[in-house]
Structure 1
Amino acid sequence: MDTRYTHIARRRVRGAVRPVAIAIIAIVAALAAAAWLLIVRPYQQQMQLDNGGVPAVTAVGKTPAEAAPANVQAMDVNQLLTEASKALKDQRYLAPAGNNAFEFYLRVLAKQPGNPVATSALRETFPYAASDAEQAVNSRDFNEAQRQIDLLAKADPANYTLTILRSKLDAQRKLASQQQQQAEDQQKAAQLAVQKAATEKQEAAKQAEQQQAQLAAEQAKAKQQHTEQQQTAAQETAQPAPTAVAAAESSDAVLLKGANPNYPTAALRAGQSGWVVVGFTVTPEGRTSDVHVVDAQPRHVFDRAAMEAVSRYRFKPATHGGTAVASTKQQKIEFSTGR
């Protein structure tokens, strides 16, 4: 075979491969640049924001924004292009409102549709402007982020980046709403805990006050009964010796020693009051027997306590013709919490 044809064929193959390889390298480079602008760079900036730093800028850096022109409406195309060029130089792609490159270029297109300078500039700077909008989303400046996304949509409504930005904005809004709700729930829980603690403290103080009042009432009643007993004993001592006629007369049973009833625990806790009329027999020995409830209010609450107290009573028995005899009596016993 003639080797000349072989060499020629190889050269043709190499010539065909070179454009394909160049195209592949260009596509890979474009994808890498886009990934850096839309993923790596915003992520780095967000990490700096989370760490308390400031977002990174290009080597040139952003210069302080100039005041917005006062007569934007009256500007012609050349003047708007000049202002847009200044904004690009200062990297004011989307902000501040009314004084940024995108708004100036969009005004140019409104005055002169299809202007090649404005169209090209919007297309080329779209990725950088989208990065600024993403920063606004990440910083949770929702109103500003929405304004910037709307401005990007006016420049290129079909750009898929808008879908990503809107999804991120919606996710950040939902996250912020959830965090706010969690904070409100925690605040409500703390308030309820404080209120519960205050209520429990008030209830404890109230119960302590009731118990103290009940104890004071019982002490006062015991003191009164003791005084009565002393008076009775003194009267009996002061009485002259009975004559023969007096000895033959009859007398009723006289209480010598009373007893305080035990306040039922359940009634004390409930702050319940009442009374019981107890009937009983005083034996010739001065003790009580056949103790029973005649009437009570409320029923079956203080009955047992009243009967137990009467069972401990001691009397000077009734006499008939000078002889001790059994007699029947009734005693009303009050139960009060002292309120």
Structure 2
Amino acid sequence: MDTRSSSRRAHARGAIRPITLAVLIIIGLLAAASWFLIIQPHQELVMQDAGGHPSTPVSTDQVAVAPPANVEAMDVNQLLAEARRAMNEHRVLAPAGNNAFEFYLKALEKQPGNPVATDALRETFPFAATGAEQAINARDFNEAQREIELLAKADPANYTLTILRSKLDAQRKLLDKEQQQALEQQRQQLAAEKAAAEKAAAEKLAQQQAAPQSAAQPAAKTAASESKSEVAATSAPAAAPVLTEPVLIKAVQPRYPTLARRSNQEGWVIVSYNIDTEGNVNNVRVVDAQPRHLFDREATDAVERWKFKPATRNGVPVEASRQQRIVFKLNQ
């Protein structure tokens, strides 16, 4: 009795397995049929209205196409037709005023909830976002900002917008950093060239001063031997030296820092510096500043490039030291 029951149960389990396999195969076939017969045709229909296909990469390159004469006077059907034409010509987000997104958005203004425009904007949003990212990578920041704002009108809550805005801000900061590094390298190169020129000028001046002293030594010895028996006469008072102040002949305006301009920050810097006998500025130092460190580099960079007519003493160029207050104002 038990043997026959066990045999029947084993036979039943063996029969269930093919049935289960057949059911799974049928479900898989139904899912595939649903995709090819329902979902995919619906997506293709939507993208035909949008002028493209989901698998087709969307380019936002600007194409030289004349915009319609009067967009405001168009009805919904005309706007949708222009949008399809723009999609076919890959004018998704650009050029401004003549692209698919703007036509679809204008159609939604005239007929809120229009299914063709709504579906087209939703389906093409990821590909249009790729175009905006390309503008960011190309560092066309104004165009990228315009395209991001256009995407925000289509789907303001889309998280992709947060990513695009972060990338745009990061690229702007990277460009500012690269520009600062380039200015610093230029400043260092100019400082090295100036130091080499000052060294050459000092060596030349030393040679010029040594030549008269060498020629005057024999004459000085002869005069000293002849005057040993003479009484020294009282020397007359020396004339007061004639001094002239250095005159600025070339001034370079300081660059306004990008960070300070964005934050509407103003201030001033007091610098001290030396003017050599060639009229060049060196040894520039910040004495005081408000706020500290924000404008220091731009102020010193500018002063180092100034050029003076050097100060003189009895007609001979001499070094001089000066201080200068440099004011940074946004309305300059």
Normalised TM-score (structure 2) = 0.52
The alpha-carbon deviation at position 200 of structure 1 amounts to: 2.0
Query: In structure 1, what is the equivalent of residue 65 of structure 2?
Result: 66
Describe the shift of the 1:15–1:5 C-alpha distance in structure 2 as closer, same or farther (beyond 3 A).
Answer: same
Letter in 2 for 1:195: K
Describe the shift of the 1:93–1:19 C-alpha distance in structure 2 as closer, same or farther (beyond 3 A).
Answer: farther
Please state whether the residue corresponding to 2:157 is helix, strand or coil: coil
CA distance in 2, matches of 1:59, 1:96: 14
Q: Do 1:65 and 1:90's aligned partners in 2 also have CA atoms closer than 8 Å? A: no
Describe the shift of the 1:19–1:165 C-alpha distance in structure 2 as closer, same or farther (beyond 3 A).
Answer: farther
Query: In structure 2, what is the equivalent of residue 96 of structure 1?
Result: 95
Letter in 2 for 1:122: L
CA distance in 2, matches of 1:76, 1:121: 18
Query: In structure 1, what is the equivalent of residue 19 of structure 2?
Result: 11
Q: Where do residues 10-89 of structure 1 align in structure 2 (5 Å cutoff)?
A: 10-12=18-20, 14-15=22-23, 19=27, 64-89=63-88
Query: In structure 1, what is the equivalent of residue 312 of structure 2?
Result: none
CA distance in 1, matches of 2:221, 2:147: 87
Query: In structure 2, what is the equivalent of residue 131 of structure 1?
Result: 130
Letter in 2 for 1:135: Q
Q: Do 2:60 and 2:132's aligned partners in 1 also have CA atoms closer than 8 Å? A: no
Query: In structure 1, what is the equivalent of residue 144 of structure 2?
Result: 145
Unaligned runs of 5+ in 1: 27-56, 230-252, 256-338
Query: In structure 2, what is the equivalent of residue 49 of structure 1?
Result: none
Q: Do 1:63 and 1:90's aligned partners in 2 also have CA atoms closer than 8 Å? A: no
Query: In structure 1, what is the equivalent of residue 46 of structure 2?
Result: none
Letter in 1 for 2:211: Q
| 1:191 aligns to 2:190 (yes or no) | yes
CA distance in 2, matches of 1:108, 1:191: 59
Q: Do 2:59 and 2:92's aligned partners in 1 also have CA atoms closer than 8 Å? A: no
CA distance in 1, matches of 2:137, 2:157: 23
Please state whether the residue corresponding to 2:72 is helix, strand or coil: helix
Describe the shift of the 1:147–1:74 C-alpha distance in structure 2 as closer, same or farther (beyond 3 A).
Answer: same
Describe the shift of the 1:145–1:64 C-alpha distance in structure 2 as closer, same or farther (beyond 3 A).
Answer: closer
Q: Do 1:84 and 1:104's aligned partners in 2 also have CA atoms closer than 8 Å? A: yes
CA distance in 1, matches of 2:167, 2:202: 52
The alpha-carbon deviation at position 63 of structure 1 amounts to: 9.6
Q: Do 1:62 and 1:90's aligned partners in 2 also have CA atoms closer than 8 Å? A: no
Query: In structure 1, what is the equivalent of residue 219 of structure 2?
Result: 220
The alpha-carbon deviation at position 17 of structure 1 amounts to: 7.1
Query: In structure 1, what is the equivalent of residue 238 of structure 2?
Result: none
Please state whether the residue corresponding to 2:210 is helix, strand or coil: helix
Q: For 1:214-268, what per-residue CA distance to the aligned partner results, in whole angstroms no more than 9, with x for missing partners? A: 2222233235457x59xxxxxxxxxxxxxxxxxxxxxxx969xxxxxxxxxxxxx
CA distance in 2, matches of 1:166, 1:20: 42
The alpha-carbon deviation at position 92 of structure 1 amounts to: 0.8
Pairwise CA RMSD: 3.4
CA distance in 2, matches of 1:97, 1:60: 14
Q: Where do residues 136-285 of structure 1 align in structure 2 (5 Å cutoff)?
A: 136-224=135-223, 228=226
Describe the shift of the 1:68–1:61 C-alpha distance in structure 2 as closer, same or farther (beyond 3 A).
Answer: closer
Aligned length: 200
The alpha-carbon deviation at position 97 of structure 1 amounts to: 0.7
Q: For 1:86-140, what per-residue CA distance to the aligned partner results, in whole angstroms no more than 9, with x for missing partners? A: 1100111101111110011011111111000000111111121111111101111
Query: In structure 2, what is the equivalent of residue 108 of structure 1?
Result: 107
CA distance in 1, matches of 2:61, 2:184: 42
Describe the shift of the 1:142–1:14 C-alpha distance in structure 2 as closer, same or farther (beyond 3 A).
Answer: farther
CA distance in 2, matches of 1:61, 1:136: 9
Describe the shift of the 1:153–1:20 C-alpha distance in structure 2 as closer, same or farther (beyond 3 A).
Answer: farther
CA distance in 2, matches of 1:20, 1:219: 116
CA distance in 1, matches of 2:187, 2:108: 54
Letter in 1 for 2:19: R
Letter in 1 for 2:108: L
CA distance in 1, matches of 2:159, 2:60: 28
Unaligned runs of 5+ in 2: 1-7, 36-55, 231-315, 317-332
Q: For 1:309-339, what per-residue CA distance to the aligned partner results, in whole angstroms no more than 9, with x for missing partners? A: xxxxxxxxxxxxxxxxxxxxxxxxxxxxxx9
CA distance in 2, matches of 1:163, 1:204: 62
Q: For 1:271-292, what per-residue CA distance to the aligned partner results, in whole angstroms no more than 9, with x for missing partners? A: xxxxxxxxxxxxxxxxxxxxxx
Describe the shift of the 1:18–1:222 C-alpha distance in structure 2 as closer, same or farther (beyond 3 A).
Answer: farther
Please state whether the residue corresponding to 1:74 is helix, strand or coil: coil
Describe the shift of the 1:19–1:158 C-alpha distance in structure 2 as closer, same or farther (beyond 3 A).
Answer: farther
